[in-house]
Amino acid sequence: MASDVPGTDQWENVESSRDGHIGRIALSRPEAMNTFSTGLAQDLDEALRALDEDSEVRAIVVHGAGETFSAGIDLSEHGDHESETEYEEWVTRMEEPFHTVTEMRTPVIAAAHGHAAANGIGLVAACDLAVAAEGTQFGATAPKVGLFCMGPAVPLMQALTRKRCLELILTGELIDAETALEWGLINRVTPEGAHLEAAVELAETIASKSPMAVQLGKEAFYEMVEMEYDDALEYSNERFAALCTTDDANEGIAAFLEGEPLAADEWPER
């Protein structure tokens, strides 16, 4: 199926494509372990938004080119700035993708391998779902160089218990994929080299369901998670009622009651 996403030459530091209903973004600075340069952060943010605006895309997989997912922020840019204001502007650009993933209606799945450190672990935590290959190492490693993973701590504290999050960000030490799974940072561990395939399979599972339900549901989730219990229930009732009036609900329920649930390509066009 032809893609409406701009060609990969639009971005220097990421590669973006679509295959059917699945969008893919590869962090593409393998010579620098896919560290977050200002350019990579900006390109990633723009590629995420472009895929989110593609009406054919129902799930997005983010992975790393080369031998690792991402080793964090490109520290060679540290010397480009002097004042606190300049550093704040710099790190704000670096972490804009963390905002974007949660603001998007399209689910985003991280497929990690090698290392996911500092901003790399932050991106894994920010994504809606995540899988990792055996042998992947995760860490909030900034204290090793005189910094602290304050930005990555924000999605990490949403994904982990307080003690697990604090252990990562205070020690700066690495954990393996099995530990990351046990702690709830990732959803699945795959054999080495199978992480991308597993993430795409997960994306295809999502893409086979009602795109309207999934997108409205993700949007509602990120609203409800910040609410008090009673407010969240009230809001959920409001959003569920709105979903009940959609073509996806009308056609999806009718097909189910007739014993022939809709396939991925049978859902109403948006």
- Residue 4 has a pLDDT of 46
Q: How many C-beta neighbours within 10 Å does residue 147 have?
A: 16
What is the rounded CA–CA span in Å between residue 23 and residue 199?
Answer: 11
Instruction: List the chain domain ranges.
Output: 8-207, 211-266
CATH code of the domain made up of 8-207: 3.90.226.10
Domain 211-266 has CATH 1.10.12.10: yes
Do the beta carbons of residue 14 and residue 26 sit within 8 Å?
Answer: yes
What is the rounded CA–CA span in Å between residue 24 and residue 5?
Answer: 11
Helix, strand, or coil here: 23?
strand
What are the φ and ψ backbone dihedral angles of 227, each rounded to 5 degrees?
Answer: -100, 160
152 token code pair: 């990555």
Is the pLDDT at 9 greater than 50? The verdict is no
Is the pLDDT at 225 greater than 80? The verdict is yes
Q: What percent of the chain has pLDDT over 90?
A: 94
Report residue 208's pLDDT band, with 50, 70 and 90 as the boundaries: very high
- Nearest by Cα to 238 from 211, 253, 257, 219: 219
81 token code pair: 């700035």
Q: How many helices (H) and strands (E) does the chain have?
A: 11, 9
Report residue 115's pLDDT band, with 50, 70 and 90 as the boundaries: very high
Is the pLDDT at 178 greater than 80? The verdict is yes
What is the rounded CA–CA span in Å between residue 98 and residue 149?
Answer: 13
What is the pLDDT of the chain when averaged over all its residues?
94
Over range 2-24, report the average pLDDT. Answer: 77
Is the pLDDT at 8 greater than 90? The verdict is no
- Nearest by Cα to 101 from 226, 199, 219: 219
Eight-state DSSP code of residue 70: B
Dihedral sign of CA atoms 99, 103, 106, 107 in order: positive
- Residue 2 has a pLDDT of 38
Tens-digit pLDDT profile for residues 45-75: 999 999 999 999 999 999 999 999 999 999 9
Helix, strand, or coil here: 218?
helix
217 token code pair: 């549901």
Question: What is the model's pTM?
Answer: 0.94
Eight-state DSSP code of residue 115: E
- Residue 5 has a pLDDT of 47
- Residue 3 has a pLDDT of 45
User: Edge-to-edge strands of the sheet including 115-117?
Assistant: 115-117, 137-139, 174-176
- Residue 269 has a pLDDT of 85
Q: 8-207 and 211-266: same fold?
A: no
Q: For 205, how many CA atoms within 13 A lie in the half-sphere containing its CB?
A: 9
